[in-house]
Amino acid sequence: MTKLTSVQVSNKHLLSFESIFDMWRSPIHLAYVADKNEGRLNRFPNFIEILDEQEKGLDQDIVSPEGHETHYIGYDPNGTLCSLGLDIVQEMYPTKEVIPTGGVYYPPMSYMGWHTNSDFVGKRVYVSWSAKADRNFFRYKTGENTYTDFDKAGVNIREFTLTKDPLFWHCVGCSTQRFSLGYAVL
């Protein structure tokens, strides 16, 4: 059974991630995001109902494990921001190979639908920054139970393992601004 773990890191690592997210939150970067994603800055005030409805489809195999609805702004196609954090995560896992898996900007009232990433299994570390505490969340299923892990304000680091059996279903919901960097730890 897959377990979500909050990762404890040194102040040095937290400050390093804070500076990456400070850069990402700068007006220049956000203007670039808006320009490259014109027309995709959608808001979904009912995103919690959408995720709840999707969750009902998990048991009926209506939702694809690999595919998910993308109602967020994918921003880091070249891995630039993830690469900036790569050294930090590599320092956290010195005996492992660490690969950036992507960066995502979530505007307020956005979400990433239920999915499993079962096409690339293994340990994952996600580093996110949220504007406000208890407003954005990472939701996942373990067996029949669904858990919601709310972000605190600032940097959040989570670790979990993706498997094919059982599948690790998870999603993200955001009522405030959120940035996320993902890494595979092999």
Domains in the chain with CATH codes: 5-185 (2.60.120.10)
pTM of this structure: 0.84
pLDDT score of 40 more than 70: no
For residues 12 and 92, the answer to whether their CB atoms sit within 8 Å is: no
Measured CA to CA in angstroms, residue 54 lies from 57, 61, 97, 113 at distances of: 5, 10, 34, 7
Residue 70 pLDDT: 58
The CB-side HSE value for 125 (13 A sphere, CA atoms) comes to: 24
pLDDT category at 186 given cuts 50, 70, 90 is very high
Residue 58 sits at φ, ψ, to 5 deg, of -65, -45
pLDDT score of 69 more than 80: no
The arithmetic mean of pLDDT across residues 171-177, rounded, is 91
pLDDT category at 140 given cuts 50, 70, 90 is very high
What's the mean per-residue pLDDT of the chain?
83
Distance of CA 21 to the CA centre of its chain: 14
